[in-house]
Every structure is written in structure tokens, then in C-alpha cells.
Amino acid sequence: MKLIVLGLNHKTAPVDIRERLAFGPDIIAGALRDLTGCNDVCEGVILSTCNRTEIYAAVQDGAEEEMRRWLSGFHGLEHERVNPFLYAHAERDAVTHLLRVSSGLDSLVLGEPQILGQVKTAYQTAVDCNATGKLLGRLFQHTFSVAKTVRTETAIGSSPVSVAFAAVNLARQIFSDLSEQTALLVGAGETIELAARHLHHNGVGRIIVANRTVERAHDLASQFDGFAISLTEIANHLPEADIVIASTASPLPVLGKGTVERALKKRKHRPIFMVDIAVPRDIEPEVGDLSDVYLYTIDDLQEVIDESLRSRQAAAEQAEEIIAFHSGEFMAWVRSLDAAGLIQDYRQRAEELRDEVLARAQRQIDAGKPPAEVLNFLAHTLTNKLLHAPSSRLRQAARDGDASILEAANELFQLEQTRTHANP
């Protein structure tokens, strides 16, 4: 068997193709059963996120084309339409790819931590579906260990590299403990969702999501035990907010100076931290002139983000070195499996020859031959049978000038050392 990864991601395929090839939670169990039912696919794990769909598999030779056709066929798409967007990696390259993905080196945001949790979930789903075996089991456990090493030994995840992460990081600096704070998130797009995740992860006390479409706001808020309001209700709830992060597509500001002034009076001038990520702005610039308001725009955060990116790029170089080492370590284990099988086969053959010669020797003893003669027969015959095939191969290697086999035999049986001791 060999390892292979087949997939596509945000670098190789547009969003409409990624959407068509995604595996939702409701279909992934059936997909794993179908995948491992293919003739040449022995084990499989399917990783499907908003930015990638990848199949990790232990396969027989020649399975790549079968997997390519399976992926497009499962989703009802023509193979010719999907194939140009796919990439494939085998053996060590496949191992390196999984380690890079799990460590955040292949993500849309360098070093982002969410992907490792998604990889763990994908693997556990495959385990629950009995789609994994010895090879993928060892690979994914190895991957989780290496990803942890990358996180602890490098600064790959220590600095914010997204606007949402930078905003939440600044909020932590201002309030230190977010557990008593209320966050008002204006909008319900990808950036606001990411901000909500970071706030929730950092233990924010309460989340309010305001959006033009209340249903979308409710969908997002419910993921974090928050509640939803419409944009028209912001003025009523702004006095509750210690943190405001705004990112809508509105052509006009959503929050004006007057609304914020009234909120500050009701708050008895307890400070509000505000981040306006939108372009054009969601918060009137004059709000920044108010006492007790800390207003940051996307330009203010960019310097933080740029510095963090430089830091993560340096950490990424360290991470690549760690991954290169551990990829080689895993492939050494894979090669040891081949040796184990070969040793087992050789021992079995030797035992068969032993039993065959022993039976002949026993018959000779039963026929009355002297034990010394039978022992001599046993030793001579067994030695000849065990050495016949290797001797023939070595003679052929000598005739062909195949020095590698002769050198390997020298090293394996320590023949040079034996000759030296025999001829001092």
C-alpha cells in the first residue's frame, strides 16, 4: 500500500467548484463507505472545509485515477470539469502536505489554529465509520503530535494575522478579562463570524449580533449563545456594549456620533472599545473624538497585522524544518513495515525448509541409519536449501556487475569482517 492525498483548495479552485465538491456532515459517512468500497482504496479520511476538500487514502498502485473519477462522480460532476482543479501528492509528499495543513502553513490565514480541530474531526469521523486502518491511523496520530510540536516550539500562532483576530487582541489588552464584557457585532459576514469565534474562545461574557437580515444574525448568534437584533435596534442596545466591532456593506455609517453620545451617558461614561472594519465606514469618524471611546479603523489595525505576518513568516520557516524532519521519520516507519513483511515471509520459508529436511532426517533414523550420519545429512541439506536462492542471486549480480547487491550482502552478513578474522 501507499499513501496518497487528492484534493483542491482556495489556491487551486474557485469558490463555486469548492462548494460543489464539499462533503457536508450529513453525507460524509456514506461517502467514506463508498470511497473505501473502491477496488484499490483500502483506507480513507475526507477533510472538507470552506477552503478545501481533500481525501487522504491508503491505496494500491494505480488508484489515483480511480479516486479522481470517484470524487467528481460522487458529486454528479463531469470528470473533465473537476480534474484541472485537483492536486495529488504521494508517499512522503502526502505526509508533508498533511503536516503543513494541520500546522496552519497551507491555510488562507497563515498559522490559523482552527484547521487542526477540523483535521481531528475528519479523522474521528473516518474512525467511527471503520474507514481507517494501521497506515492512516499511525499517520494522523503522528500528525497531531507534530502539529502540537509546531505550536509549542514556534511562534506560528502567537500573533494576530487577521483583522478580526487583531481587533479581539486589542480588546483583551484594553479590558484584560473579557468575561464581564458584552460585545456588539454589527454585520454577519465572514469577518464578523471570525471575530465572534475569537471572542467566544477568549471567554467574552455576552455577544449581540446586529444585522439587516435578523435571520442571518440569529444563525450566527445562536452558535455562541448570543442573541440577534436588527440594525434599527442598535441604539437601544448600544449602552450594554463594552466592545463594538462593525463590518457591514452599508454605503452609509450605521453608527453616528449622537447615538454613541447618548449611549455613553447611559453607561455613565464607562469606556467603549470600537473597531470599524468596513469600507466605506460603518462608524462616523467623529465618534473617535468622544471621550471614553477607543475607536480603531482597519488602517489602524494594519500595522499590527503586518508586524504579525512578519513574525509568523519567520516562525513558518522553523515549522517547515520541523515538518521536514518528521515527514522523514514517518516514512522510515512506513519502510520498516515493508521490511517486517519481508522478514516474516523469509522466516516462514525457512521454517518450511526446516520441517521438510527434518522429516527426511526422521525417516532416515526410523530406517536405522546412524544418528551421526543423519545429523550430517540434516546440517548439509538444510544449509544448501537456505543458501541456494541467495547464492544464485549473488552470482547473477556478479555477472551483471550489480555492485549494490554485493555491497548490501557484505553489510548484511558482515562478510568483510568475517574474512578479516579468518585471515589475520
Predicted local confidence at residue 9, as pLDDT: 92
- Find all residues with CB under 8 Å of 38, minimum gap 6, and list them: 63, 66, 67, 70
> Per-residue pLDDT for 415 more than 90?
no
Instruction: Identify the CA nearest to 67 among candidates 87, 52, 96.
Output: 87
φ/ψ of 283, rounded to 5, equals -120, 130
> Per-residue pLDDT for 127 more than 70?
yes
In angstroms, the first-to-last Cα distance of the chain is: 48
Place of cell 471503520: 130
- Find all residues with CB under 8 Å of 259, minimum gap 6, and list them: 234, 235, 238
Given pLDDT bands bounded at 50, 70 and 90, which one contains residue 185?
A: very high
Angle between helices 403-413 and 371-400 (to 10 degrees): 140
The answer to whether 114 is annotated as binding is yes
Measured CA to CA, the distance from residue 369 to residue 362 in angstroms comes to: 10
Find the mean pLDDT for residues 32-41. 94
Q: Are 51 and 18 in contact (CB under 8 A)?
A: yes
Helix locations, 103-213, DSSP H: 114-128, 134-153, 163-175, 190-201
Any idea which of 221-235, 242-256, 270-284, 401-415 has the lowest mean pLDDT? 401-415
Predicted local confidence at residue 419, as pLDDT: 47
Any idea which of 21-25, 33-37, 215-219, 390-394 has the lowest mean pLDDT? 390-394
Place of cell 452558535: 223
Report CA-CA distances (Å) from 298 to 56, 115, 168. Answer: 39, 25, 13
The answer to whether 190 is annotated as binding is yes
Place of cell 484594553: 174
Instruction: Calculate what percentage of the chain has a pLDDT beyond 70.
Output: 94
The answer to whether 189 is annotated as binding is yes
The ranges assigned to domains in the chain are 2-158, 163-305, 335-413
The answer to whether 339 is annotated as binding is no
One fold for both 2-158 and 163-305? no
Predicted local confidence at residue 421, as pLDDT: 52
The answer to whether 113 is annotated as binding is yes
Cell numbers at 212, concatenated: 439587516
The answer to whether 417 is annotated as binding is no
Chain mean pLDDT for the chain: 88
DSSP-derived pairing of the beta strands 272-276 and 293-297? parallel
The answer to whether 206 is annotated as binding is no
Query: Which residues carry out catalysis?
Result: 50
Instruction: Calculate what percentage of the chain has a pLDDT beyond 90.
Output: 56
**Measured in whole angstroms, how far is the alpha carbon of residue 249 from the centre of its chain?**
33
The answer to whether 362 is annotated as binding is no
340 against 163, higher pLDDT: 163
Place of cell 474531526: 121
Cell numbers at 61, concatenated: 498502485
Look up the pTM and report it.
0.59
Q: Are 270 and 263 in contact (CB under 8 A)?
A: no
Q: Count Cβ atoms below 10 Å from residue 380 Cβ, excluding itself.
A: 11
Give pLDDT tens digits for 71-88. Answer: 999 999 999 999 999 999
**For the ranges 155-164, 243-252, 414-423, the one whose mean pLDDT is highest:** 243-252
- Find all residues with CB under 8 Å of 206, minimum gap 6, and list them: 181, 182, 183, 226, 240
Hey, is 165 helix, strand or coil?
helix
φ/ψ of 355, rounded to 5, equals -65, -40
> In the CATH scheme, what is the code of domain 163-305?
3.40.50.720
Predicted local confidence at residue 163, as pLDDT: 78
Measured CA to CA, the distance from residue 317 to residue 22 in angstroms comes to: 31
Angle between helices 190-201 and 214-222 (to 10 degrees): 30
Give pLDDT tens digits for 111-126. Answer: 777 789 999 999 999 9
> Per-residue pLDDT for 159 more than 80?
no
Q: Are 149 and 175 in contact (CB under 8 A)?
A: no
Given pLDDT bands bounded at 50, 70 and 90, which one contains residue 408?
A: confident
The answer to whether 371 is annotated as binding is no
Give pLDDT tens digits for 292-348. Answer: 999 998 778 767 677 777 777 888 889 999 999 999 999 988 887 766 667 777 788
The answer to whether 53 is annotated as binding is no
- Name the CATH superfamily housing domain 2-158: Glutamyl-tRNA reductase, N-terminal domain (3.30.460.30)
